[in-house]
Amino acid sequence: MKFNKAWLTVTHNCNLGCGWCYDRNNMENNKFMDLHCAIKIIDFLHEVDCNSINLIGGEPTLHPNLEEIIEYATEHNITTSLVTNGILLSDNEYIESLCMKGLKHVFLSYKGKNNAVYQMSDDEKNFEKIIKSIENIKKYKIDYVIDLVVTSYNIDEIHNWICDIRKCTDSTIHLSICKPAIGTEGITNMQYIMKPKFFIKKFQDLYMHNKEFASEKFVLHQTLPSCLWNKNVIEQLKERKQIGMGCQLLYRDGIIFDVNGELLLCNGLAKFPYGKFGESFKNKDSMLQFYCRENIKSLFNEACRLPDSKCDTCKMMNQCRGGCAIQWFSYSFSQILDGKEEL
Amino acid sequence: MRDIQELLKTRMATGSIPAFVEEENQEDNGKDIEIIQELGDCGLCSMYC
């Protein structure tokens, strides 16, 4: 068992209020990961030779000890990446400090110009701050990509967003599709989720007709079943190396810690931990014993169950493994294959 | 624990459980999947931040 990367949700707090975010279920908790807890987790990750941490939220830059967490990880030869809306990175002193502590990479989640997300928050100048933060990231030579989450609300604006981004940076742009946010009452962001065939049809039209998508610095997070795509489009994406995957659950190469050290199968399942660091295990030996338990093996297996029996013999199964495991909470792949899904 | 087990039963997934190549049988565990570009995450994280 080897973890190549870890995710630390350092807070559920956020300075925005995106409707599609799973953490809208958790924001009322007003929680921050305790610094002592973060240090213990980093010690553990060092012990098991995990050398990469993604710091996420909520909005991780709200954590009062973020600099200490980054510094401690860096001292233990663990690379830190920040998944952020970027608003606080517009502050020169703050980003300089994060850089000095060892921050290596930023995933900046871009939400468009004059977007309702920004208007919902307190500060009307948030969009300008994000542009400033991109300038700062470049100034401090931090490796970064721009992430775009496509929802039913913004799918028709994505091309304009990419054109806007290209006015200020030539960084890599990652495009991903909105996935279900699952709270204890069920899926909480259903109105933002597009059905796979709807998204694919829209994306294929955009991709084939706009030169901005042809760049090698554009990458699609391909989390849908490969068989749903037009073969020509998927081949073109592959030829240009524009398809990316990174699901730790399907690869089984990652570990996710929630704010209190709870262990999650996926960040989208934050309300449903399967264990807790410090209780389920606290070092390499006890971790190996924990993950060898039949009930834990069974849990991971069930989470990775393929969406339909046709996947069992599909030649493309090794490309997609049926796609993102949690999307099948919101719709049935069998119904899509049967042509019962409405666009 | 029971909660997550119960929740997983509500997934509309009816296929089999794919064989997973254990660590001792491969250099990098989990990498039996054909990867075009390995990204830092699946894109889900950017929904949160």
- The crossing angle, in degrees rounded to 10, of helices A66-75 and A92-101 is 20
Q: Which pLDDT score is estimated for B29?
A: 47
Other beta carbons less than 10 A from residue A39's beta carbon = 16
Percentage above 90 pLDDT, chain A = 69
Q: Which of A168, A148, A170 is nearest to B46 (CA)?
A: A148
pLDDT digits (tens, 9 = 90+) for A35-76: 999 999 999 999 999 999 999 999 999 999 999 999 999 999
Mean pLDDT for chain A overall: 91
Q: Which of A264, A287, A329, A331 to mutate to test the interface with B (most CBs of B within 10 A)?
A: A329
Q: Which residues of A touch B16 (CB under 8 A)?
A: 305-306, 309, 311-312
ipTM above 0.90, yes or no: no
Shortest Cα–Cα distance, A318 to chain B (Å): 5
Nearest chain B alpha carbon to A299: B5
B25 touches chain A (CB under 8 A): no
Say which of B8, B15, B42 has its CB closest to residue A309: B15
Tell me which range, A104-113, A229-238, A275-284, is most confidently predicted by mean pLDDT: A275-284
Q: Which residues pair with A246 in a beta bridge?
A: none
Tell me which DSSP letter residue A308 carries.
S
Q: Do B5 and A302 touch (CB under 8 A)?
A: yes
Tell me the DSSP string of A78-144.
-EEEEEE--GGGG-HHHHHHHHHHT--EEEEE---TT-HHHHHSS-TTHHHHHHHHHHHHHHTT-EE
Q: Is the dihedral of CA A299, A5, A134, A86 positive or negative?
A: positive
Q: Give alpha helix (H) positions in A218-293.
A: 231-239, 248-251, 284-292
Q: Which residues pair with A183 in a beta bridge?
A: A186
Provide the whole-model pTM: 0.93
Mean local confidence (pLDDT), A206-216: 91
Shortest Cα–Cα distance, A307 to chain B (Å): 4
Shortest Cα–Cα distance, A16 to chain B (Å): 8
pLDDT digits (tens, 9 = 90+) for B2-49: 699 999 999 999 999 987 655 445 555 445 567 777 777 788 887 777
